[in-house]
Amino acid sequence: MAINIEEIQAPIAQEMQDFEEKFRVSMKSKVLLLDKITNYIVKRKGKQLRPMFVFLTAKLCGEINDATFRGAALIELLHTATLVHDDVVDESNYRRGFFSINALWKNKIAVLVGDYLLSKGLLLSVHNGDFKLLEIVSDAVREMSEGELLQLEKARRLDINEEVYFEIIRSKTASLISSCCGVGASSVTTDVDIIKKIRLFGEKVGIAFQIKDDLFDYGNEEIGKPLGIDIKEKKMTLPLIYALNRATWLDKRRIIFIIKNQSHKSKKVNEVIEFVKSSGGIEYTTNKMNHYINEALEILHSFPLSPTRDSLEGLLRYTIERKK
Amino acid sequence: MAINIEEIQAPIAQEMQDFEEKFRVSMKSKVLLLDKITNYIVKRKGKQLRPMFVFLTAKLCGEINDATFRGAALIELLHTATLVHDDVVDESNYRRGFFSINALWKNKIAVLVGDYLLSKGLLLSVHNGDFKLLEIVSDAVREMSEGELLQLEKARRLDINEEVYFEIIRSKTASLISSCCGVGASSVTTDVDIIKKIRLFGEKVGIAFQIKDDLFDYGNEEIGKPLGIDIKEKKMTLPLIYALNRATWLDKRRIIFIIKNQSHKSKKVNEVIEFVKSSGGIEYTTNKMNHYINEALEILHSFPLSPTRDSLEGLLRYTIERKK
């Protein structure tokens, strides 16, 4: 049974609609160029997973209120800021099917727009005294940048192991989803146990989400992202780490040589992909992903049954069943 | 009489020394690559004008305390973050005589390090409840990015006038110095009139500072920045704006043509510089700068005479008498 995002959104449909308008207003500037770009950003919005996590966890733990909206806007502003900065970082020409801000407007503007969005997010929180929310989100920004830098550091030396892999994906991806859930809960309750529990739920979902993303690199024709892109960027993800750990000395040397020196050749990249597949790297990684999903489910099931809980379960399933 | 920065620092010498250590600690990370880069950032520190403004204005308005230190660190972290992002933006290979982070470590890392520093600054403030300081600084970040973007927007169309010029330099430069002064005062007093007055002082100094910077483009052999760089980047600053406003139709057309199409040729850039000089653009701009300096002095003199006030007066004089 395919998962329908609109169905998942049902318990918070009105809030998601109101949020879109509030978010647009929160980016307004008197500088024309900025307004053009932020309008463009609103148009290319994705599946809105982050605000969905905020509103659903808020509803799971209490009553959605104005702080929930501001929390969701803070996350979107800061996340959009890092996406815009990422457009410079990734040198990617596409994001979500549109040209990236970078390709259209050049690096110069991208960095400044990122800084602008960031400051707008900060001011929104500071003006409303949302300090707990600000703390949660600042922590996520710190973790995300540390995680990405750790990954870059490791990519240079190709010496990554499974433990470091999980440390990287926990900080670069899971910290954001965890902070969405933390912001949702913190906006409606001060119960620290509940907040802690829901953050842990977000972390598990985030880890599974990133594992799924890393699996896409090994074959899914529906995805926009080209196959083998991680290998080309010398990012060692779980399927490859597992396969290398179990490889003969000769195979290991051959694969590492390709990644180091020939990863610009598609044929050679395909050789790595085949090696990983035949070593059982995909099955192992899929099992790991399911393990995290089950842990997340267990936490979720400690909350009473409700349409909101069902929706969060739907989001969990979406994480692993999505086609891109 | 030449101005000695150490003499200016005398009333806050101990605080500046303590600050250096505290700032270094505030950037610490468990990621090796990050620690390497932040150590490098500390080493290439400049004249420390921003912390000087914070500590001197704090001392002028009350007793320096822990919040003053945290305020100075917040500004340095956020400012360093924007400098690191700027390294990407400016595509400059040098800053303060060292290679820029960008040239050494590539854009990818530069953007992430910027995000990291920023989050560290936020967390420092949030964990200590420095919300007023955070508000002042976030406002400055917003103004700076809006100001730079406004300048870029105007550079495309070359339609800038004197009013827009002052709007640009007020937001892109003066807002930062104003926020240093506001943070200094807010860390020691809640008197809104005092805080407002000292922020206005900072704004006037900042405007004069940027005018001086823009004047450097028209001739000073001691400066590291190459002559005519603003013209090459199609940034219209006050000397040029003034000269164009008073030019014949023919001269105006010639100069605009050079800026639009020939600004990569040094000889042509020199032609623009000579045109500005012979039109009295330098004198006019220098007078404007002195006007802002006098306004700043007037505000400063409303405070009782003290070694701290003298030092701030020294900083003011430094602004216009510096050689680079």
pLDDT at A88 over 70: no
pLDDT digits (tens, 9 = 90+) for A130-149: 999 999 999 998 999 899 88
Strand partners, B254: none
From the list B35, B113, B46, the residue with the least C-alpha distance to B81 is B113
Contact B119 A150 (CB under 8 A): no
Protein fold of A5-321:
Farnesyl Diphosphate Synthase (1.10.600)
In three-state secondary structure terms, A249 is helix
* Closest residue in B to A118 (Cα–Cα): B142
Tokens of A159: 């010496």
pLDDT at A100 over 80: no
pLDDT of residue A86: 67
Q: How confident is the model at residue A223 (pLDDT cuts 50, 70, 90)?
A: low
Contact B146 A29 (CB under 8 A): yes
Q: How confident is the model at residue A315 (pLDDT cuts 50, 70, 90)?
A: very high
Lowest mean pLDDT among A34-38, A197-201, B140-144, B302-306: A34-38
Q: How far is CA B254 from CA B238, B244, B261, B276, B284, in A?
A: 18, 10, 11, 13, 22
pLDDT digits (tens, 9 = 90+) for B252-300: 999 999 998 988 888 999 999 999 999 999 999 999 999 999 999 999 9
pLDDT at A3 over 80: no
**Which one is predicted more confidently, B21 or B89?**
B21
Lowest mean pLDDT among A48-57, A218-227, B50-59, B120-129: A218-227
Instruction: Give yes or no for a contact between B296 and B205, defined as CB atoms under 8 angstroms apart.
Output: yes
From the list A54, A106, A105, the residue with the least C-alpha distance to A75 is A54
Contact A31 B153 (CB under 8 A): yes
Q: How confident is the model at residue A99 (pLDDT cuts 50, 70, 90)?
A: very low
* Closest residue in A to B125 (Cα–Cα): A135
State the sign of the Cα–Cα–Cα–Cα dihedral A40, A42, A48, A51. Answer: positive
Domain boundaries, chain B: 5-321
Q: Which residues of B touch A123 (CB under 8 A)?
A: 135, 138-139, 142
pLDDT at A108 over 50: yes
Buried b (16+ CB within 10 A) or exposed e, B173-183: bbbbbbbbbbb
Q: What letter would DSSP give residue B11?
A: G
Separation in Å, CA of A131 to nearest CA in chain B: 7
pLDDT at B115 over 90: no
HSE toward the beta carbon, residue A81, CA cutoff 13 A: 32
d(CA B182, CA B198): 6
Q: Where are the beta strands (DSSP E) in chain A?
A: 94-95, 98-99
State the sign of the Cα–Cα–Cα–Cα dihedral A245, A250, A256, A259. Answer: negative
Contact A89 B112 (CB under 8 A): yes
d(CA A142, CA B112): 9
pLDDT at A35 over 90: no
Mutation test of the interface with chain A: which of B91, B117, B118, choosing the one with the most A Cβ atoms within 10 A?
A: B118
Q: Report ipTM (2 d.p.).
A: 0.81
Q: How confident is the model at residue B95 (pLDDT cuts 50, 70, 90)?
A: very low
pLDDT of residue B241: 95
**Strand A98-99 to strand A94-95: parallel, antiparallel, or no bridges (unpaired)?**
antiparallel
Separation in Å, CA of A171 to nearest CA in chain B: 12
Q: Which residues of B touch A134 (CB under 8 A)?
A: 122, 126
Contact B142 A119 (CB under 8 A): yes
Residues sharing a CB contact under 8 Å with residue A166, sequence separation 6 or more, in sequence order: A207
Q: Give the Cβ contact number of residue A88 at 10 Å.
A: 25
In three-state secondary structure terms, A217 is coil
pLDDT digits (tens, 9 = 90+) for A109-137: 877 888 888 889 999 999 999 999 999 99
DSSP for A174-212 reads IHHHHHHHHHHHHTT---HHHHHHHHHHHHHHHHHHHHH
Cross-chain CB nearest to A139 (options B109, B114, B123): B123
Tokens of B26: 């505030």
Q: How confident is the model at residue B25 (pLDDT cuts 50, 70, 90)?
A: confident
pLDDT of residue A59: 98
Instruction: Give yes or no for a contact between A195 and A182, defined as CB atoms under 8 angstroms apart.
Output: yes
pLDDT digits (tens, 9 = 90+) for B165-176: 999 999 999 999
pLDDT at A247 over 70: yes
In three-state secondary structure terms, A280 is coil
Overall average pLDDT of the B82-100 stretch = 56
Q: How confident is the model at residue B1 (pLDDT cuts 50, 70, 90)?
A: low
- What is the value of pTM for the model shown? 0.84
Contact A115 B33 (CB under 8 A): no
Helix A101-128, helix A66-90: angle, nearest 10: 150
Contact B149 A119 (CB under 8 A): no
Contact A32 B123 (CB under 8 A): no
pLDDT of residue B93: 43
Instruction: Give yes or no for a contact between A145 and A105, defined as CB atoms under 8 angstroms apart.
Output: no
pLDDT of residue B101: 56
A34 inside 8 A of chain B by CB:
yes
pLDDT digits (tens, 9 = 90+) for B296-323: 999 999 999 999 999 999 999 998 888 7
Instruction: Give yes or no for a contact between A207 and A80, defined as CB atoms under 8 angstroms apart.
Output: no
A123 inside 8 A of chain B by CB:
yes
Overall average pLDDT of the B99-127 stretch = 77
pLDDT at B94 over 60: no
